[in-house]
Structure 1
Amino acid sequence: MQISRQVIVKEAWDWIKTIIIYVGIALFIRFFIFNLSIVPTGSMIPTIQIKDKIIILKFSYWFQPVKRGDIVVFRSPNEKNVQLVKRVVGMGGETILIKDGKLYINGKLYMEPYVYEKMKEDFGPYTVPQDGYFVMGDNRNHSYDCRKWEKKYITRDMIIGKAVYKFGALK
C-alpha cells in the first residue's frame, strides 16, 4: 500500500496548523494572562524568600484597582529590562512618613504585620502624586524601593501584574 504525496502533505499541514495554534495559545497566556517569575533578592522577606517562584496575574488590574497591601511586579523606573517585586504602601495623594521605624500615612500610624524588622531610617514626609503608588519591600532595611529612587513612585502603566501565589524554592 502506497501513501500518496497529497496525503502526506495534508497530514503535515494538519500538524503544522495544530502546532501554530498551540504556540499561539501559549504566547497569549504568557503575555496577557499570567507569568511565572523567580524572585532573585531578599527584599520581600519574610513574605517571599530568595528564589521563590511567584505567579503574576497580568490581567488582575483590568477589572479592579490597585490596592494598598497588594504585592505587584513592575518595570524598574531606573533599570531597563528589570522587573521588581514590592508591596503597595501608599496611594496617589497620600503623604508617607517613616519616623522611628514606624509608617505613617496621612499622619496616622499604619500597622504592617508583614514587615521583617523595624525600619532603621526615617523618610519623608513625601506626598505621592495622584497617578502614583508608593511601593516598598517587606524587608525594609534591605530593599531598593521608592525611598531610594529619584522618582519616588510608580505609575499604573509600569505595573506588569499582581503576585498572587508563590512556590518555595527547592532546597
Structure 2
Amino acid sequence: MSVTSPKETSKGGFGETVKVIIQALVLALLVRTFLFQPFSIPSGSMMSTLLVGDYLFVSKYSYGFSRYSFPFGFAPFEGRVWASAPHRGDIVVFKLPSDPNVDYIKRTIGLPGDRVQMRDGVLFLNGVAVPRERVEDFVDRDPFGREVRIPRYRETLPNGVSYLTLDIMPNASTDNTQEFVVPDGHYFMMGDNRDNSADSRVAGAVGFVPFENLVGKAQMIFFSIDEDARPWMVWRWPDTVRWNRLLDTLH
C-alpha cells in the first residue's frame, strides 16, 4: 500500500489549485472573446436608452468575428469571419475608426448605400423622413440636484424598430447636416441623445464605421447604478442601484 507524505499532498493541492485557476481564466477568455463581453456606459450619448452607470452584456457572435473581437486586436487576419450584417436600429459597440483602442456604443442608423441626413432635428433616410412622435419628457437632474425635463421622441425606422431619442436643444449644430452617403462596407451610427453625441454626423469624431470595427451587439443591462456611486459600495446598493433596469433587454 502506497502512502503520501503531507509535503506531497501540499504540493499536489497547490498544483490542482493553479490548474483550476488557469482553466477558469482560459474559459473566461473564451467566453469574453466568442460569446459575451461586459461593458459599462461612461457617458450620456445614448440617453435615455442607456444611462451612465449601466453595465451591459454585448454578444460577440452577432456580426461574426474580426481581429477586434480578440483582446488587443492581436488576431492576424483582416475582415470578418462568419460575418452577419447589423440591422437598422441595432445598438452596437465598435472600435473608433480613428483610434481602435477606444470603444464606442451607438445605434445603427444607416446601412451601406443609404443616404442619411438631419433636417431641423428630423432624421431622413433615403430622402424620406423617419416618423417621429413626441412622448413624455425624460426627467433628469442637474449637478445641483434640480429637476430637468428634456423633450423626448419616439422614432420608428423603416424596418419597424422603434426607440426613444432626446432633443435637448432646438437647432443644435447636428440638427441640420449635409446628406451622407454610406460607403460599401461601412455603417452610419448615431446616439439617441441627439444633441449630445459625437457620432457619424461628425466626421472628425467618428465618421463612417467600417464593418471590421464592429465588436458586438448590446443585448442586456445586467446591472445599473447611479453615476455618482460605485458598484463595490454594496452598503449603498439599496439607494443607488437602479433595480428597475436590471436584466432589461435592449432594442
Relative to the length of structure 2, the TM-score reads 0.62
> For 1:95, which of 94, 97, 115 is the aligned residue?
115
Q: Deviations over 1:47-74 (max 9, x none)?
A: 0011211111111112642010000011
Quote the residue 1:105 is aligned against: 125
CA contact (8 A) 1:99 1:122 kept: yes
Partner letter of residue 115 of structure 2?
T
Q: What's the CA shift string for 1:3-25, capped at 9, x where partnerless?
A: 25444433333332222111110
1:157 aligned partner:
212
TM-score (norm 1): 0.89
Residue in 1 that maps onto 2:165: 115
The answer as to whether partners of 2:97 and 2:210 remain within 8 angstroms in 1 is no
Structure whose residues are more often helix by fraction: 1
C-alpha distance in 1, partners of 2:31/2:212? 19
Deviation at 1:80, TM superposition (A): 4.7
Alignment of 1:60-79 (within 5 A): 60-62=62-64, 64-79=84-99
SS in 2 for 1:14: helix
Deviation of the 1:2 alpha carbon: 7.0
Are 2:190 and 1:136 equivalent residues in the alignment?
yes
Equivalent position of 1:10 in the other structure: 12
What are the Cα deviations for residues 128-157 of structure 1, in whole angstroms up to 9, with x where unaligned? 001110000000110000111246210111
Q: Report the counterpart of residue 41 of structure 1 in structure 2.
A: 43
Structure 1 counterpart SS, 2:164: coil
Contact 1:75/1:84, CA 8 A, preserved across alignment? yes
Looking at structure 2, the residues matched to 80 and 61 of structure 1 have their Cα atoms a distance apart, in angstroms, of 18
> What is the deviation of 1:102?
0.8
> How many Å separate the matches in 1 of 2:129 and 2:102?
32
Equivalent pair of 1:43/1:138 in contact (CA under 8 Å) = yes
| Alignment: residue pair count | 171
Query: SS at the partner of 1:11?
Result: helix
The alignment yields a C-alpha RMSD, in angstroms, of: 2.1
Work out the percentage of aligned pairs sharing the same amino acid.
Answer: 31
Higher relative contact order (CA 8 A, sep 6+): 1
Specify every segment of 5 or more residues in structure 2 that has no aligned partner in the other structure, as ranges. 65-81, 132-154, 156-162, 227-239, 241-251
Report the residue type matching 1:15 in the other structure: T
Please give the alpha-carbon distance, in whole angstroms, between the structure 2 residues aligned to 1:119 and 1:56. Answer: 34
In the alignment, structure 1 segments of 5+ residues that lack a partner are none
* One-letter amino acid matched to 1:146: S
Does the 8 A contact of 1:119 with 1:141 survive in 2?
no
